[in-house]
Amino acid sequence: MSILNRRAILKMTGALAGSSMISNSLAASYPTQPIIMFIPYGPGGTYDAYAREFSKLISNELGVNVAPVNMPGGGGAEAIFELAQYPPTGDHISIINVPGILLEKPRPGLDVEKLTWIANLGRDYAALAVGANASVHNIDDLKRLSAKRPIAFATAGRDSGYFASKVFCASLDIKSRFITGYQGSVSSAVAAARGDVDAVVYSYTTLQKLQSSGLVRIIFSFQHKAPVAGIEDAGTVNKPDLGKISEWRPIVGPPGLSDEMTSILSNSFMKAVKLPEAVAWAGKVGTTLYPLDGKQTRAMFEDQAALVKKWQDIL
């Protein structure tokens, strides 16, 4: 699977783009040429899976090829920066990590608030797990351990799991430290099982699978009400903000994308996310589809931006 840089992408699309100016008549007939969907991470992850599945589904809906292109870098910000440099011709869109993009340091030339918010495809709730054989069984146990030493969390960087962990610890007065360098949920879970770290925070469905394999044990769900009995949640600890933290999977376009094009793309994604094959795919990979149109997606982004801003002092 090739990962393309901007020069390669320009070469791919230069012959197709024609003019960077789109008239109302062109917008009315949109789309008439292939669309590139950026993926802000390398091949193999959940964002890659989302982009590849839905690029296929909306290609059928739109009648043009939608090509997924991996562009990793900058913690997911590189692809979004590149997207923002393109004219709003409807030729380029991207899946984006929210709230992950909000945790990156500000970058000249990139204002995520000015992006065109097209649709949201999924929402994955987080959970906190410890090693399967750990002596920690609940939040009170974590607090007692924290009184002796900081709780060690495995993290891949400043991602959604990191944000959830930081807000969790700050909300419950739990001392913590973060061990970086873990590349994914499996390596983090193995570290927890070995006792290299005390806890990991990933999507609930991912940790459920790792729990079934005997590596970890889930003790907290970042939902207002946990999906199963015996697990504490934002409601039981009376910390509503913990129930607002999710990993969202929106689709965005460059700033200034016309209302007509945005509507066409949004409607196509909304139809695709409800298809039986999309539902079956989500069940297979263990993700939760959560369709939102453009207006609803913008509102979700603003809510998440306000939440990150509220807690920015601890980041």
For 125-184, give the DSSP string: EEEEEEETT-S--SHHHHHHHHTTSPEEEE-SSSSHHHHHHHHHHHHTT--EEEE----S
pLDDT at 109: 77
d(CA 151, CA 173): 11
- H or E element that contains 240: none
Strand partners, 151: 176
What is the rounded CA–CA span in Å between residue 102 and residue 159?
A: 9
Q: Please name which of 29, 32, 48, 152 lies closest in space to residue 91, comparing C-alpha atoms.
A: 32
Expressed in angstroms, the distance from the first to the final Cα of the chain is 34
* Residue 59 main-chain phi, psi, to 5 deg: -60, -40
SS3 38: strand
Structural domains in the chain? Answer: 6-123+247-314 (3.40.190.150), 125-244 (3.40.190.10)
Non-local CB neighbours of 61 within 8 Å, separated by 6+ positions? 268, 271, 272
Query: How confident is the model over 8-51, as pLDDT tens digits?
Result: 554 455 444 444 444 455 566 899 999 999 999 888 888 999 99
Residues in the chain: 315
pTM of the shown model: 0.86
Q: Is the Cβ–Cβ distance between 88 and 56 less than 8 Å? A: no
Tell me the pLDDT tens digit for each residue of 235-254: 999 999 999 999 999 999 99
| Mean pLDDT score across all residues of the chain | 90
